[in-house]
Amino acid sequence: MKERFKKWKYPKIEEGKPTKYNWLVHHKENLKLGYKTDIGAFTYINAKNGVIIEDYVQIGSHSIIMPGITIGENSVIGAFGFVNKNIPPNVIAIGIPVKIIKKTNSR
């Protein structure tokens, strides 16, 4: 994982516009984006009531993150995941809505 994030920089996020990685945030002022995150293309984040994405989180393509959600450090959200509840650190969650399927090793 260290090589994957070697040149990682915080992405430029503009309200309601896709990032250069083609994911979108509404209410960007309420998004707290952690260090070395990987958010897949076509993911939608609605941060109306605040969203926290902690360090080293990976989110698969086409996922939806609902308002008021925290995704814990080092967790993975599978592609097309619908995140409507908080996700603890070091887990893999998939589905609509997401369900935790496995614990991961911490970094």
**Domains held by the chain: number:** 1
In a domain, 12, yes or no: no
The range of the structural domain enclosing residue 58 comes to 24-103
10 assigned to some structural domain: no
The CATH number of whichever domain residue 34 belongs to comes to 2.160.10.10
How many C-alpha atoms does 61 have within 13 Å on its Cβ side?
3
Task: State percent of the chain over pLDDT 90.
Answer: 88
Model confidence pLDDT, tens digit, residues 74-86: 999 999 999 999 9
Contact present, 23 and 3 (Cβ < 8 Å):
no
Q: Which residues contact 61 (CB under 8 A, 6 or more apart)?
A: 40, 41, 42, 43, 79, 80
* 3 state SS of 83: strand
Q: Is residue 19 part of a domain?
A: no
d(CA 101, CA 92): 6
Is 69 inside any structural domain? yes
Which band of pLDDT confidence, cut at 50, 70 and 90, is reported for residue 5? Answer: confident
